A and B are shown apart, each in its own frame.
Chain A
Amino acid sequence: MAKVLMKGNEAIGEAAIRAGCKNYFAYPITPQSEVAEYLVKRLPEEGGVFLQGESEVAVGYMIFGAAGAGERVMTTSSSPGISLMSEAISYIAAAHCPAVFVNIVRGGPGLGGILPSQGDYFQATKGGGHGDYHLLVMAPDGVQEAVEMTMLAFTLAEKYRGPVMIMGDGLIGQMMEPVEFPDDLKTEPTNKDEWATSGMDFRKSKKRNLVKSLFLDPTALNDNNLALKAKYQQMKEEEVRFELYNGDTDYRVLITSYGTMSRVCRTAIDMLKEEGIEVAMLRPKTLFPFPEKAVFEAACKDSCKAVISIEMSMGQMVEDVERCVKGKRPVEFYGECGGDIPSPEKIIDIIKGLL
């Protein structure tokens, strides 16, 4: 299929449809309301369901209900809205339901701002809601990857029967880029007869299904948590995705960066190369599961003297980087999160300061 020029938010909406998701519930919030404005037109053409809920709290449970009934479903929001949805996300994880959440991150905390940020890394990767659960989190670095990851998110949500998050940022949502859509996702959700509340009449077994998260018996609750843990372990083994940029050189510094920030770092790396300074970048595409082994190995290359995590936050992913580097190299951090994105020149200055 030929490339088309699309705004990130609209491309995410289109990607969901092409992934076979015909159900979308959302509440307006800047900077991602274009997803809803796009889907309110597109979903009726596909015979799908569009509903604007009364709050992100309610939308979280509309998603839970639809997912529990075994239908593909997505919502999109931005940081404060994801905070409100986090209650439902915890329940959805506990009840083993597949659903896709897109967070077009804006600056925080509180109302923060409406400009791009990566300040929700902790929320996305370490919890957000209560209890022992994780989201599978993917972080696109542009519109093309946002499309590919959104489509993949449905496959992974169904593979692991759990919530998957796309963590973009305001820039990815708002910018236009040429994008090529992969082939439509043809697969149907598997095994849903075994767990979804799709109505007993509609299943061969005629046995009823329960979608729930209450386990008053301590052994049963522990077992449910062990089942979740086993899924996260499998994700760590099968779903780690990352890119190592300029990694085949004798780089002296390793940058870790993701999403929009990684694009600026890429430019800085290219500019430094022209000066004869080799720097590499490890870009996690999955923030959970985190590319632990890849970060360690890239940091431990003989030529590499230091690691620096560069983020549009006050220092969040850097904690995972430190964990993975295990003290083998110094780990530095640079970040801004008011909404301005650090320039390549700024990154170059920072890198040179490490040499």
Chain B
Amino acid sequence: MGKTFTTPKALSKNHTHYCPGCTHGIVHRLVAEAIDDLGIQGKTVGIAPVGCAVLAYNYFDCDFQEAAHGRAPAMATGIKRVRPDLMVFTYQGDGDLASIGMGEIIHAANRGEKFTTIFINNAIYGMTGGQMAPTTMGGQRATTAPAGRDTADTGMPIRMANLLAELVTPGYITRQAVLKPQQVNKTKKAIKQAFQYQMENRCFSFVEVVSTCPTNWGLTPLDALKWAEDTLLPYYELGDFKVPE
């Protein structure tokens, strides 16, 4: 029997700095597998965000640029417009994309930029240590919402995939999760599909991935999966919000 499980070529051999139970590692692998499957490693440029994935370029093996907080979609626009033959993806968290980078993502999506965004939604700021994000659930505790998020004061959590799907410009907008193996398989399919749309020069493609942050949630990795399943998924509904015609 041949080898059935190996490190994707598009992943480096470096150990990650991610916390135990963090799902960044899973999504990194899925992105790398999609790159391998499509044979695009040599023409892919990734954009690292600011946040936990700021060092993503240490874990992928392809060209990478590093953006300022929230600016990855503008940077990706710059690369893709001047080099449409490259495959460009941004990898962003929820503080980066849904807070400080809201303007950049909305406009990139609305212009129908032909790049792919992988959006990790774990409902909290990770790298800075557990502050409230625009995606934090009502009542969810954060260091800047110690009694739990008061939505009367700070608004309701933002559902990025729903919001972007409202744009009239065609696009591929989907929300997936990596809490269970079936979800991981579906996320892989979605990421590959997103890259395929880009290869075909079809549309902007956006894969939101509901993820966990056991460290800043104050939960064990297993409890974190359960909390995400019980608390996040009812609000962050999974599925395709928009597909190109």
Contacts and interface: CB of A to CB of B under 8 A. Distances in A.
A149 B233 CA distance: 57
Interface in B60-90: 61-68, 71, 74-83, 85-86
A212 B74 contact: no
A65 B75 contact: yes
Contacts of B78: 25, 61-69, 73
Please classify how large the interface on chain B is, using the bins under 10, 10 to 19, 20 to 34, 35 or more. 20 to 34
B79 A69 contact: yes
A210 interface: yes
Given A54-B107, A61-B71, A211 B44 contact: no
Interface of B: 41-45, 47-48, 54-55, 57, 61-68, 71, 74-83, 85-86, 103-104, 107
A200 B41 contact: yes
Contacts of A51: 77, 81
6 contacts: A49-B82, A61-B75, A64-B78, A66-B78, A199-B86, A200-B62
B160 to A, nearest CB: 17
A323 interface: no
A201 interface: yes
Given A54-B103, A213-B66, A69 B82 contact: yes
Interface in A23-65: 23, 25, 49, 51, 53-55, 57-65
Contacts of A159: none
Interface in A217-271: none
Interface in A157-181: none
Q: Which of A71, A87, A210, A211 has the largest count of B CB atoms less than 10 A from its CB?
A: A211
Contact of A197 (B55, B65, B85, B107): B65
A65 B74 contact: yes
B103 A58 contact: yes
B82 A23 contact: yes
Interface in A69-112: 69, 71, 73, 87-88, 91, 95
A66 B79 contact: yes
A212 B77 CA distance: 17
Contact of A210 (B57, B68, B77): B57
A210 B65 CA distance: 6
B54 A69 contact: no
B65 A65 contact: yes
Given A88-B68, A199-B42, A214-B54, A23 B63 contact: no
Given A58-B71, A62-B77, A69 B83 contact: yes
B210 to A, nearest CB: 27
